[in-house]
Amino acid sequence: MQQAAPIASRTGPAGPASFVEWGAVVAGAVLAAALSFVLLTFGAAIGLSATSPWPNSGLSVKVIATLAVFWALAQQIGSLMAGGYVAGRMRSRWHEAGDETEFRDGLHGGLVWAVAVLISAFFVFATASLAVRTGADVAGSAVAGAASRTTTNPMDTVLDAMLRTPAGAPQSRNTVASTSDEIRGELTRILTSAVATGSLSAENRTYLATLIAQRTGVPQQEAEKRVDDAITAARTAADKARRAAILTGFVTAAGLILSFGAAWWAAIKGGQHRDNSVPARFQFDRRQSPVS
């Protein structure tokens, strides 16, 4: 009489036990997070070394962006592969059948992926919160003791171009050397609304051109051209930000999906090496027979 296939046992040395070994999962996730941090730091250093403020020196922005995307994917997949392998290798086997063993090993790799993602998300939010608090302190000190403006808002560059007084231009009584924050805020709101709605009304266009002409001393026709150029520049900046956000989202999602598969596969390989007593090596041993 043919003997039935062995059934996985649910009892361990101390009675009922779970098939999920969180010790192995956490160990793999911590290893993956640490490797990811090290590789990201290394990649940032390489990226900084490849850039240069001097003309005709260093890599182009497109090349650096391409390398950054590739490194972000590679380090994430590699780190989670290492963590999944560790989890699969450290997991205890409970006398399962062949396919069930692979599934449970792979599931531990998937759990490593999930825990590592949660760890990364926690540190990202913690770092962002710290940056917000630090930025608020710095801003408070700057307002109290400084009269300079320091910002990375692309709209400020557009406003500077609109309100720049040309060298040698005739000055009128209404021309001022600087523009108040109220005026710049109003210009920003009008331009932002125009970009959001897709058009600038004739009334707002005339108002902006008149205001620029008064503030800079340029002719009305030149002021109108500056308004049109500002609208184009603002739309270009908004479109670049939109495309960057889309690319970031796609790269992040693709990296997470690929790294999940990599962690699952690596955990299965780790379980196979565990069952066949394959020694862990950092180099390939030709005498070692391959594991199917």
Handedness of CA 134, 140, 144, 148 (dihedral sign): positive
More confident residue, 37 or 60: 37
Q: Which of 156, 152, 195, 160 is nearest to 178 (CA)?
A: 160
Position 205 scores a pLDDT of 87
Q: Is 63 helix (H, G, I), strand (E, B) or coil?
A: helix
Compute the average pLDDT of residues 61-78.
Answer: 87
Q: Is the pLDDT of residue 152 over 60?
A: no
Q: What is the longest distance spanned by two Cα atoms in the chain?
A: 109
More confident residue, 253 or 181: 253
For residue 130 the two structure tokens come to 């710290």
Position 30 scores a pLDDT of 92
Position 63 scores a pLDDT of 84
Element (H or E) spanning 11, and its range? strand 11-12
Q: Is the pLDDT of residue 292 over 50?
A: no
CA distance 204 to 223: 13
pLDDT confidence of 15, banded at 50, 70, 90? very low
Element (H or E) spanning 15, and its range? strand 15-16
Q: Is the pLDDT of residue 176 over 50?
A: no
Beta carbons within 8 Å of 27's beta carbon, 6+ residues apart? 86, 87, 90
Q: Which has the minimum average pLDDT: 29-33, 78-82, 172-176?
A: 172-176
CA distance 24 to 176: 69
Q: Is the pLDDT of residue 269 over 90?
A: yes
DSSP string, 203-243: HHHHHHHHHHHHHH---HHHHHHHHHHHHHHHHHHHHHHHH
- Considering 64-68, 101-105, 139-143, 144-148, the range whose residues carry the highest mean pLDDT is 101-105
Q: Hey, what long-range contacts does 200-207 have (CB within 8 A, 24 or more apart)? A: 200/227, 200/231
Q: Which has the minimum average pLDDT: 172-186, 206-220, 240-254?
A: 172-186
Q: Exposure of 32 by Cβ count < 10 A (0-12 exposed, 13-18 middle, 19+ buried)?
A: buried
Q: Which of 269, 74, 212, 234 is nearest to 155 (CA)?
A: 234
Compute the average pLDDT of residues 94-106.
Answer: 79
Bridge partners (DSSP) of residue 15 are 12
For residue 32 the two structure tokens come to 């993956």
Q: What is the pTM (predicted TM-score) of this model?
A: 0.66
Position 287 scores a pLDDT of 52
Q: Is the pLDDT of residue 39 over 60?
A: yes
